[in-house]
Amino acid sequence: MSSVSYHISSLLEKMTSTDKDFRFMATNDLMLELQKDSIKLDEDSERKVVNMLLRLLEDKNGEVQNLAVKCLAPLVSKVKEPQVEAMVDILCTNMTSDKEQLRDISSMGLKAVIAELPLSASGFSLTASVCKKITSQLIGAMGKQEDVSVQLEALDILSDMLGRLGGALVGFHSSLLSSLLPQLTSSRMAVRKRSILALGHLVPCCSPALFSQLTEHLLKELAKNPQTSLTRTYIQCLATVSRQGGHRVGEHLEKLIPMVVKFTSVEDDELREYCFQAFEAFIRRCPKEMSPHVATVTKLCLKFMTFDPNYNYDDTEEDEDSMDIEDGADEESDDEYSDDDDMSWKVRRSAIKCLEALISTRRDLLLSFYSSICPALLARFKEREENVRADVFAAFSTLLRQTRGGSSHHSLITAGSEPGTSREEEPAIALLKKQVPLIVKALHKQLKEKSLKSRQGCFCLLTELAYTVPGALDEHIPALIPGIVFSLTDKSTSSTMRIDALSFFHVILISHPPQAFQSHMQTLLPAVLTCIEDTFYKITSEALLVTQQLIKVMRPQGQTAASGGFDPKPFIKEVFSVTMKRLKATDIDQEVKERAISCMGHMVCHLGDHLGTELQGVLVIFLDRLKNEITRLTAVKTLTLISASPLKIDVTSILPEALSVLGSFLRKNQRALKLSTLACLTALVTHHAASIKPAALEPVLNEIPSLVDESDMHVSQVSITLLTCMAKACPSSLAKISSSVLPGVFKLIHSPLLQGGALLAILDFLQALVVSKATNLSYSQLLKSLMEPFQSSKSSADILHRQSYLSVARCVAALSSASPKETPGTVTNLIQQVKNSSSPESARVLSLLCLGEVGRNGSLGGSKEVQGVILEAFSSTNEEIKTAASCALGGMAVGSLNEFLPFMLKEISAQPRRQYLLLHSLKEVISACPASSLSPHVESIWALLFQHCESQEEGTRNLVAECLGKLTLVNPAQLLPRLKQQLKAGSPLARSTVVTAVKFTIVDHPAPIDSLLKDSIGDFLKTLQDSDINVRRVALVMFNSAAHNKPSLVQGLLGTILPHLYKETQIRKDLIREVEMGPFKHTVDDGLDVRKAAFECMYTLLDSCLEGLDVLQFLDHVEEGLKDHYDIRMLTFLMLARLVSLCPAAVLQRLDRLVEPLKATCTTKVKAGSVKQEFEKQEELRRSAMRAVAALLAVPEVERSPSMAEFANQIRSNADMASIFQSVQGGEGGGLGPTESMDMS
């Protein structure tokens, strides 16, 4: 410690030296010392250092002064409070000194100190006291009117301080406001501008009362009709306040808008610009509150976006063309003299930006924009001022993006009534299509202009258009091509321009049919090939991508080579030579290497028959690239492409070596490489089996056993698909797999994780094995291996999961369908096994399931004996066997409806005790049978189901509802109205069954029932007002399902449904009752399930119907939920996090009310003697609340709210909360945080 103080005192001594170099070096050393974290100073050294540095601020040498200022910032955190205050005092006094240099240096020092003041709770007292000191001094300095530069510095520092530490200055807010407002009338523009900035920083953290005071002041001053320059300042201030204060402006809009509208009529361009900037801020910050004023603002924008008094736009087109030729030179000289004082372009630009804000915040008005704004924007494409034109393009691109936003998001919903018909177009897309010819007409000339900015704007806009309406530019391609070629070949074009042109070209090549480009190949190709030879690698790589698409255009695959009569021959040579040059080069950028390989791969795949002798050379290079670690992945993909080419490219020369290299890739750790290699091998085996010797596949087969593993199902699936291809194409290669690969496959079949694609791949593989007789394993041996684990006594069978029973049953059925001769014997054995009561339970369950799956394929044979076996199994005492029998009966009935369905229906009526099991079988039949075969039986099933829809058992009712719902899908036109009838007739139980049935008619893909449902779902949702609480709960569940799977069904009804939905979120005292459990009293809330269902609906609506919600009203109910029961709080925390990312402005508006419940949850402690579950529950709640807090804190403006800033400090200073906060942010759920979603399907 003493050595440090000794070192520092020696530095201080040098600082008093007369030699400026000594002073400089000593100060520099001090700065380096202070930057070390370990340095500790005693009080005496602290004082000396501070005094010395403050003296050096007045040093004669500028460099020493600068270093002294740099030392102040690290000092703040190293010295105690009194020293910091002393430092600030002197700096503030210097601020008002007469010496300009000292003033500048001191203001730099103050800014440095402010930037270092601690934000955490521990250092908060220091921060607050320092801020008070600075503020009172600065307010004094601002009052000094005689020296403007002092005022400017003071305002600058205030802005910094309010921006960073607004919360600490709460006590000063009103005095700051009263000293800042007079500055708005200062004679100096710079002072006004900085006062506006300072006010902007004050707005987010001040109290609502102060905010109102500020707005009132601005309104009062504007009402006096001050001189124009003052009006400008006030309007500018309004815009800034609105941008910074966001939602708060909402309540004052009624008074503000007419005022700003009035000033747009004043003949002053800058004032008008500020007016539109204010409108833009209002629209972006409070889109909801602006609704009544949208029409007014739009009208003004449309009027002023064409405001160009000093220029006459010729409307006749022929003149325009001739003018381009003659007046080229004059035109520029024209502009020169007038444009310096012509400010009208600023008005146009701000009006257009205001329109863009409107388009981007109000998707709900999209259709009206197409009639009002779209034509006006199109007409402004001819704008003469380059910057304004760029904004016109940007606004139009926003319109396109908004149009696309709707169509891609729920692309499934607006499907046509028949699965075959194409999707009906969204109205906005249809309107846009009509505008396409006008857009192209307005743009295609601009693509040849000198101005780069315009061309870039055009390309961006056209790219958006191609994405929004793919194929729309089809007939306009000839008009656009000269523009593209011009940008690629023009000497003066910058490289970014070329890249933009190439990427736009790539987009239209992908989204339009090849025939559109074939006739233009002559002009297009040379331009693109020149770009491949460009020296800048980004241009080369974009050009290679485009060339790859052009190769597809020359000879599209899927049709015959002669289609369309286009002959690619004349172009092949040059494309080949240019690409080959890039393919051979090894000293180029990796992206270019990869794209050259891919481009040449497409060339071989599409035009390989024209390459003649060159082909072998190319293949050798590919083999070489396959061995290179950097390019191997691309080479594997390219080889896949070539081997699957319809041209049957001969790859025998490289096959043996390629196979061994590919085999080695299966050992690598890179998953993408493994998957691509397996795909490549599959293509090679499928298309080139004749040229592969069985021995060549050994290196591959040796690697496969380790890939077939439940840890990565997708890799397993692809590996098994490869084995299936081998079994079909070259069975001899699989002779030895019974010991190597098969044990792994069987292990996978017995895994609980097997399902979906991997299971289907295994079924194919087993069938291929039996059919190809590839191995020496017979049908019976395979069957034995499948069923072996289930035959043993208890111990090992207990480990088997339910899923593995189902998997094995499907495998047995697949084997038996591949060898029909063996099936009858297998069925007899299975029946024996079920009847034999001494065989283990697992074997009997499996045999039942196998019978069901074999029956599903329709190859059971006699049904009488089987029916007997099933009925016997129903009477078993063992639950597992009963369930298996019910599944089996369902499967058999699917296979032969006419034999089993009447039997099943008879049993359901006759056997009330087995009803549940039989209904399960019936559900299986209804789900799996095609509508055509079910329709004769619909009436009998329907009648039977309605006999049981009032069953007392909830489980039975739910099953009946699922059967009813799925049955309705068979013939919706007839059955949906019948369901509606039942709503009026039945008891509460029947109503709840019917409403649940409707839930099952809503499927997540387009179905014929959709249009009918849309018309009648309103009637079913009326049950939200049912008197019975259970009916209301199932109605909410059904509504949730609709909102999740098909939002279009309910979007139009939200106005009527939401009040009832919100009503169900409230706690009802009359549903809470006390139950005595021995000596304890326990409260039971019967309304909890309904509330939970209501909140789940609200969560779903956030994702699917956000546009239809009034977010502030929505937040009122979320706020109530934050104080509710554990389950509901968990849900509302999720909702809050979601809302923060979707509509931060609204959440900010309610922030102060939302912080309290979050704070309460995070700080609650569980009573000491509680059970373990209580602790876990509370811990989970706190983590969930903390996730919501973390999401809130991710929004920059949040910490400006005093209550939130205080809570954030509390979290940072409390070790327990801080650790939860850390883990939520970085740890397990970190990445998901705000948008973490809950599965509600």
Give the model confidence (pLDDT) of 725-759 as tens digits.
888 888 877 777 777 888 888 888 888 888 888 88
Q: Tokens 């809503």 appear where?
A: 1002
Closest Cα to residue 290, out of 392, 221, 365?
A: 365
> Taking a C-beta distance cutoff of 8 angstroms, is the pair 46, 68 a contact?
no
- Give the model confidence (pLDDT) of 905-946 as tens digits: 888 878 777 778 888 888 888 888 887 777 788 888 888 788
Q: Which helix (H) or strand (E) holds 1162?
A: helix 1151-1163
Say what the pLDDT of residue 394 is. Answer: 92
Kindly give the residue spans of alpha helices, DSSP state H, lying in 144-287. 148-165, 173-183, 189-202, 208-223, 228-245, 253-263, 269-285
Q: pLDDT category, 793, cuts 50, 70, 90? A: low
pLDDT of 1229 reads 41
Least confident of 38-42, 924-928, 1049-1053: 38-42
Confidence of residue 314 (pLDDT cuts 50, 70, 90): low
In this prediction, residue 120 carries a pLDDT of: 60
- pLDDT for 1022 beyond 50: yes
At 1074, which helix (H) or strand (E)? strand 1072-1077
Average pLDDT over residues 632-648: 91
Given a cut of 60, whether residue 422 has pLDDT beyond it is: no
Residue 861's pLDDT band, with cuts at 50, 70 and 90, is low
pLDDT of 119 > 70? The answer is no
pLDDT per residue over 495-553, tens digit each? 888 999 999 999 999 888 888 888 888 888 888 988 988 888 899 999 999 999 998 88
Of the candidates 948, 883, 877, the one whose C-alpha atom is nearest the C-alpha of residue 911 is 948
Alpha-carbon distance of 840 to 527, in angstroms, equals: 76
Higher per-residue confidence, 1226 vs 1066: 1066
Tell me: pLDDT of 156 over 80: yes
DSSP codes of every residue in 675-737? HHHHHHHHHHHHH-GGG--GGGGHHHHHHHHHH--TT-HHHHHHHHHHHHHHHHH-GGGGTTH
Q: Which residues pair with 575 in a beta bridge?
A: none
- Running DSSP on this structure, what letter comes out for residue 1200? G
d(CA 285, CA 251): 12
pLDDT score at 1036: 92
Q: In this structure, is the dihedral angle defined by the CA atoms of residues 415, 419, 422 and 424, taken in order, positive or negative? A: negative
Across 279-298, average pLDDT: 88
> CA-to-CA distance for 287 and 1007, rounded, in angstroms?
36
Rounded to two decimals, the pTM is 0.75
DSSP one-letter code for 123? T
* Confidence grade of residue 863 (pLDDT, cut at 50, 70, 90): low
pLDDT recorded at residue 1231? 39
Out of 237-241, 440-444, 945-949, the most confident range is 237-241
pLDDT digits (tens, 9 = 90+) for 952-984: 888 888 888 888 888 888 888 888 888 788 877
Angle of helix 823-835 relative to helix 802-818, nearest 10 degrees, comes to 150
What pLDDT shows up at residue 1170?
77
Interior angle at CA 812, CA 810 and CA 815, nearest 5? 110
Which of 30-44, 145-159, 219-233, 412-426 is predicted least confidently? 412-426
Is pLDDT at 419 greater than 80 in this prediction? no
Does residue 798 carry a pLDDT above 80? no
Average pLDDT, the chain: 82
- Determine the 3-state secondary structure of 131 from DSSP: helix
Largest distance between two CA atoms of the chain: 117
Give the whole-angstrom CA distance, residue 720 versus residue 717.
5
Sorted by sequence, the CB contacts under 8 Å of residue 968 that are 6+ apart come out as: 975, 976, 979, 997, 1000, 1001, 1009
Confidence band for 123, pLDDT divided at 50, 70 and 90? low
Q: What are the pLDDT digits (tens) for 362-406?
A: 888 888 998 889 888 888 888 888 889 999 999 999 999 988 875
Residue 789 neighbours by CB under 8 Å, 6+ apart: 750, 796, 797, 800
Give CA–CA dist 410/365, Å, rounded.
18
Angle, CA 1217 vertex, CA 1216 and CA 1219 arms, to 5°? 70
CA 1100, CA 408: separation in Å to the nearest integer?
19
Quick one: which H or E segment has residue 347?
helix 344-361
The arithmetic mean of pLDDT across residues 62-72, rounded, is: 86
With the C-alpha atoms ordered 838, 839, 841, 847, is the resulting torsion angle positive or negative? Answer: negative
Q: What is the pLDDT of residue 1226?
A: 65
Q: Which amino acid is at 459?
A: F
- Average pLDDT over every residue of 694-706: 85
Beta bridge partners of 1073: 1084
- Nearest to residue 555, comparing CAs of 514, 497, 599, 598? 514
Whole-number pLDDT of residue 280: 93
Residue 406 Cα to chain centre, angstroms? 14
Q: Do 442 and 382 form a contact (C-beta atoms < 8 A)?
A: yes
Q: What is the pLDDT of residues 625-635, one digit of tens each?
A: 999 988 999 99
pLDDT at 98 over 60: yes
Helix (H), strand (E) at residue 945: helix 938-947
Q: Which residue has the tokens 């069957």?
A: 783
Q: What is the pLDDT of residue 682?
A: 92
- Look at residue 601 in the predicted model and tell me its pLDDT: 93
Say which amino acid occupies 954.
E
The percentage of residues in the chain with a pLDDT greater than 70, rounded to a whole number, is: 91
- The mean per-residue pLDDT over the stretch 628-655 comes to 90
Q: What is the pLDDT of residue 640?
A: 93
Q: In this structure, are residues 692 and 658 in contact, taking their beta carbons and an 8 Å threshold? A: no
Computed over its alpha carbons, how large is the radius of gyration of the chain? 39
Q: CB atoms < 10 A from the CB of 427, how many?
A: 13
- Judge contact between 920 and 879, C-beta under 8 A: no
- Would you state the pLDDT for residue 326? 35
Q: Look at residue 191 and tell me whether its pLDDT is greater than 80.
A: yes
Q: For residue 339, is pLDDT > 70?
A: no
Cα separation values, 541 from 529, 604, 606, Å:
11, 19, 20
pLDDT recorded at residue 1029:
87
Give the number of other CB atoms < 10 A from CB of residue 563: 12
Q: Which two tokens stand for residue 542?
A: 């974009």
- Buried b / exposed e over 131-167, threshold 16 CB at 10 Å, is bbbbbebbbebbeeeeeeebbbbbbbbbbbbbbbbbb
Q: Is the predicted pLDDT of residue 561 greater than 50, yes or no?
A: no
**Residue 1097 in contact with residue 1039, Cβ under 8 Å?**
yes
Distance from C-alpha of 724 to C-alpha of 769, rounded to nearest angstrom = 8
pLDDT at 317 over 60: no
